Amino acid sequence: MEFSGYAFILTVIEPKVTTPYKIIPQHTLQKATPEQVKILKATLERFNTNPTYFLYPPYEVNVKVVQGERAEQQNYEYKKLKTEDWRYWIISFEPNNTEMMNIGSALSLMKNHIELGFEIIGKDEENTGFNWHAQSLHTFFNDYMRRQLKPKPILEEDLLLAAHCYEKLLSLPDEYQHIRRAFQLFNDLRSIPLSSRLAILGLFSVLESLLTHAPEPIDPSSSLTRQITRKIALIQKRFVRDLDYEIWFDGIQEKKLWKKLYLYRSLIAHGEEAHISDKLENLKSPGRVVSFLREVLKLLLVESLDEPELITDLKKC
């Protein structure tokens, strides 16, 4: 198939659709050819800043977790895949790559989201150009929370949602620039390790930019905590996926959960010890908080595209 380039999918995935699969016109999900794999491997080695990351390339192995000698110890067993089963996946584009930013934003909203890496411009090894964002690539290679041991299953319903969000993002009226800014902020967080406490502050910042107005000192009900608690409770009924608090945090009541989340945010923001224990033990772990906030934001951003006027009105009230 003729095309002018392709974007490499950093995320280790296992599509559950027949491929090649056209996500949107002129942009197709497909497995990389042997010639493309050669270019991708060389490019990954060039960009990678973590020497241990490619000891066992995640696109070429199956990984099994094995209990170590101590209860808290885990070891990993790596089994090399057959070459034809390697997981180098790309999104080919023709005739140009001008839409990859919006497509990347749309793919980031899926339940099992896809993270794009770099773009290869050209059809052969001798005539190849590159397009990449150095900081987000560096973060990916060095952030254990962005890497997974098992490939993410990608369903057709996920890709249909991404296509829907892409079209909505393209047609978003100019008066909703605050929603576009929220997408930009969400994308900017790719440059911050998810294992960093700064990621938690960043996720709260995007959430607040969509749903809250500046608190009024004379009105306690306008505090950020109360605004978010009240507005999430209202809007979550319209989310495309259920936000099941019981799965995330063992059934803690929503209002109490958001109070604990904001207490955690406050401790981080003010430079205090922010251990998840005692009053915060229901939050389980920083990783669980990050994953939950990312899911809330993905659902809220989808809703912002579907009903931008509603989200804008909700922000004001």
The percentage of the chain sitting over the pLDDT mark of 90, rounded to a whole number, equals 62
If you average pLDDT over residues 260-274, what whole number do you get? 91
For 133-149, the pLDDT digits (tens) are 888 988 998 888 887 77
What does the block give as tokens for 166? 């892409």
Q: What length is written for the chain?
A: 317
If you average pLDDT over residues 108-131, what whole number do you get? 83
The whole-number pLDDT of residue 94 equals: 83
Distance CA 86, CA 17 (A): 17
Distance CA 312, CA 174 (A): 13
Tell me the HSE value of 34 on the side-chain side, using a 13 A CA sphere: 3
Cα-only R_g, the chain: 21
The model's confidence at residue 215, banded by pLDDT at 50, 70 and 90, is confident
Distance CA 96, CA 119 (A): 11
- Output the CA–CA distances (angstroms, integers) from residue 86 to 13, 75, 81, 205, 235, in the order listed: 10, 23, 6, 38, 41
Does the pLDDT at position 204 exceed 90?
A: yes
Question: Which range, of 59-68, 96-105, 118-127, 299-308, averages the lowest pLDDT?
Answer: 118-127
Q: Which of 66-75, 120-129, 143-152 has the highest mean pLDDT?
A: 143-152
pTM for this prediction: 0.91
Phi then psi dihedrals of residue 288, to 5 deg: -65, -40
Per the CB < 8 A criterion, the answer to whether 264 and 200 are in contact is yes
If you average pLDDT over residues 31-35, what whole number do you get? 95
The model's confidence at residue 95, banded by pLDDT at 50, 70 and 90, is confident
The model's confidence at residue 218, banded by pLDDT at 50, 70 and 90, is low
The residue with tokens 């899926």 is: 110
Q: Nearest CA to 13 among 88, 80, 106? A: 88
Type of residue numbered 202: G
Query: Is pLDDT larger for residue 263 or for residue 145?
Result: 263
